[in-house]
Structure 1
Amino acid sequence: MKLLRNREEAGRRLAARLVQHAGTDAVVLALPRGGVPVAAEIALALRTPLDLLFVRKIGVPWQPELAYAAVVDGDPPELVINDDVARFAPMSEAELAAAMQDEIAEIERRRVAYAGGRAALPVTGRTAIVVDDGLATGTTARAALQALRRRRPSKLILAVPVAPAETVNELSGLVDELVCLEMPEPFRAIGLHYEDFHQLSDDEVVAILNS
């Protein structure tokens, strides 16, 4: 596959696949940080509002990049465990509870930093387009989608630039529509499918949201 230049290019390519939602009551929901520049391009092209869906991965203690679970902002927060990882890398209840509290605290910090405490946009009865910069195991996206269903959107769409086919197949049953630009085989780490996949800072996220 051809490498994606950056997250912005990925967003513009996804927008072209979602053009039927332009000018509708849809809302684009970014998973920060990496999903924000992708989602911003989609929202701009579709002329729809942009909001954030706060979700945090809980990594295996000795391999933080491996998603054991994910927690989504909410009342109560939504916790989704990656059963495949849990089978060979179990965490104790105490470890999981402590990690979950740490990530909930980070969600709250980001809510204040990015949204200034602003209430989330309503999605009930609207088309909700959830956007990230790529999927690996899909644990984080699964948690986000399950939590978002509780807010009763009329249609739930997941849009990502790159993901393994297995993950796309697993998540397709959770949404009404799934748009993925590339499903390379073999799949490598998400960042290896981009020319520029730098770690976004809080300041970059805020600047995008305020632009």
Structure 2
Amino acid sequence: MPWNRPAREGFRTAETVRLPYTDRSEAGRVLAERIVPMGLRDAVVLALPRGGVPVGYEIARRLDRPLDVLVTRKIGYPPQPELGVGAIAEGGAPVFDADLLGRLGLREADLEATVAAERAELDRRVEVYRRGRPLPETAGRPVIIVDDGLATGGTARAAVRAMRERGPSRLVLAVPVGAAETVAALEPEVDDLVVPAAPWDFRAVGQWYQDFEQLTDDDVIAWLDRAARDRGTG
């Protein structure tokens, strides 16, 4: 089920998307085709690293806009760190899954050490990726937040809430594929939600890509440098 929804106006369906995507670059080109008609002048394109950066590159290139990152970190359940109980984005407060915390018998205060460690890693990645540059100015401008997919949506929720605090004129979340329940849950958080495919049979983002290699910090920097060179600024 493909969705391209302006919030509070009802779903608009787009043509069927062939899955799996070849790779993140193809997925980014598919997203760009849906974003161009939205007429987002002077948009800020912010990709969630690492996987969202190749996707965001294609959108920024098509819109002829700079590409930057919005760094996020998952907050894991300490005995089982791969289980995300929340997330944090640069410039924002931690966002927790209250229902999951309740089922695990945890309070937010119990995770202070975990949050501190993830914030330190977030700060490290900001320095590595942006090399001292601040986030682009977003107040009064359209902002497009890009990732390679939505599973539970924790990091995307933290990202859009952090960005909402910065006063964009229009906040868009664009992902090539997302779990249908997660997409529906995130719709109230943004002004526009662009998701070409939202299957119900969703186990992991990687199942919807033929090539879903894990990216490194060096890969992120290479994509950002490539985007800057394309615009003659790098």
TM-score range, shorter chain: over 0.9
3-state SS of the aligned residue for 1:59?
strand
Structure 1 match to 2:12: none
Structure 1 match to 2:119: 104
Structure 1 match to 2:79: 62
Q: CA deviation at 1:64?
A: 2.4
Q: TM-score, normalised by structure 2?
A: 0.85
- Aligned letter for 1:104? R
What is the count of residue pairs matched by the alignment?
209
Gaps of 5+ in 1: none
Structure 2 match to 1:210: 225
Matched, 1:144 2:147: no
Structure 2 match to 1:45: 62
Show structure 1 runs of 4+ deviating over 4 A: 92-95
Matched, 1:127 2:142: yes
Structure 2 match to 1:176: 191
Whole-Å separation in 1 of the counterparts to 2:217 and 2:82: 20
Whole-Å separation in 2 of the counterparts to 1:114 and 1:144: 17
Q: CA deviation at 1:21?
A: 4.7
Whole-Å separation in 2 of the counterparts to 1:95 and 1:198: 34
Q: TM-score, normalised by structure 1?
A: 0.94
Whole-Å separation in 2 of the counterparts to 1:73 and 1:158: 17
Structure 1 match to 2:8: none
Matched, 1:14 2:31: yes
1:72-91 paired onto structure 2 within 5 Å: 72-74=89-91, 77-91=92-106
Matched, 1:187 2:202: yes
Query: Per-residue displacement from partner, 1:62-105 (whole Å, max 9, x unpaired)?
Result: 3323220101111xx41100123212224355541111111111
Q: CA deviation at 1:192?
A: 1.2
Using the aligned pairs only, state the percent identity.
51
Q: Give the 3 Å change call, closer, same or farther, for CA 170–93 of structure 1 in structure 2.
A: closer
Single out whichever of 83-92 and 2-11 deviates more from structure 2.
83-92
Gaps of 5+ in 2: 1-17, 227-234
3-state SS of the aligned residue for 1:67?
strand
Q: Give the 3 Å change call, closer, same or farther, for CA 66–17 of structure 1 in structure 2.
A: same
